[in-house]
């Protein structure tokens, strides 16, 4: 059985977001690792098309027994992987990016994949749960980066 590793403090946030998703929605997860997010939070199976993207080639094999309908292997920040995902011609109702945790990659993925979100489902971008450091290595909330 696959496990998943998510901070328990985020569970109410995930549950609130999932409660707003309508049946037949589309889902993109970047950085799937153990492929457990869908099983843990989409118990009502609201997502009909689920796309996984991970840099680890083993994910393609793991995903065969899951609800993921498409698996893309590669670096999500690369143009080639972005083109593969964009070529699915699918506006995503939800995108979860749990891949690289470096500032550069987080920002690049946000800028690349945010336009692929279905406009009706856009939530408050200020609710992003992440921190960045400035040049003096002090922690700044994301909200200041997005202003």
Token pair for residue 79? 């143009």
pLDDT at 97: 87
Q: Is the pLDDT of residue 136 over 70?
A: no
CATH architecture of the region 8-146: 3-Layer(aba) Sandwich (3.40)
Average pLDDT for residues 27-34, to the nearest whole number? 88
Of 97 and 85, more confident? 85
pLDDT at 58: 92
Average pLDDT for residues 133-139, to the nearest whole number? 47
Q: Are 47 and 25 in contact (CB under 8 A)?
A: yes
Cβ-Cβ contacts under 8 Å for 93 (sequence gap 6 or more): 21, 22, 25, 26, 27, 47, 117, 118, 121
pLDDT at 119: 57
pLDDT at 43: 87
In 101-122, which positions are buried (b, 16+ CB within 10 angstroms) versus exposed (e)?
A: eeeebbebbbebbeebbeeebe
């Amino acid at each position: 059985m696959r496990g998943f590793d998510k901070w328990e403090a985020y569970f109410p946030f995930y549950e609130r977001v999932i409660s707003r998703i309508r049946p037949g929605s589309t889902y993109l997860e970047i950085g799937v690792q153990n492929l457990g997010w869908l099983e843990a939070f989409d118990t009502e199976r609201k997502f009909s098309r689920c796309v996984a993207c991970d840099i680890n080639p083993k994910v393609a094999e793991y995903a065969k027994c899951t609800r993921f309908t498409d698996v893309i292997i590669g670096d999500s920040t690369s143009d080639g992987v972005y083109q593969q995902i964009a070529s699915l011609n699918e506006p995503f109702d939800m995108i979860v990016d749990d891949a690289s945790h470096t500032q550069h990659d987080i920002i690049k993925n946000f800028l690349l994949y945010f336009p692929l979100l279905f406009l009706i489902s856009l939530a408050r971008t200020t609710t992003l749960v992440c921190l960045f450091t400035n040049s003096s290595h002090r922690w700044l909330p994301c909200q200041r980066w997005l202003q």
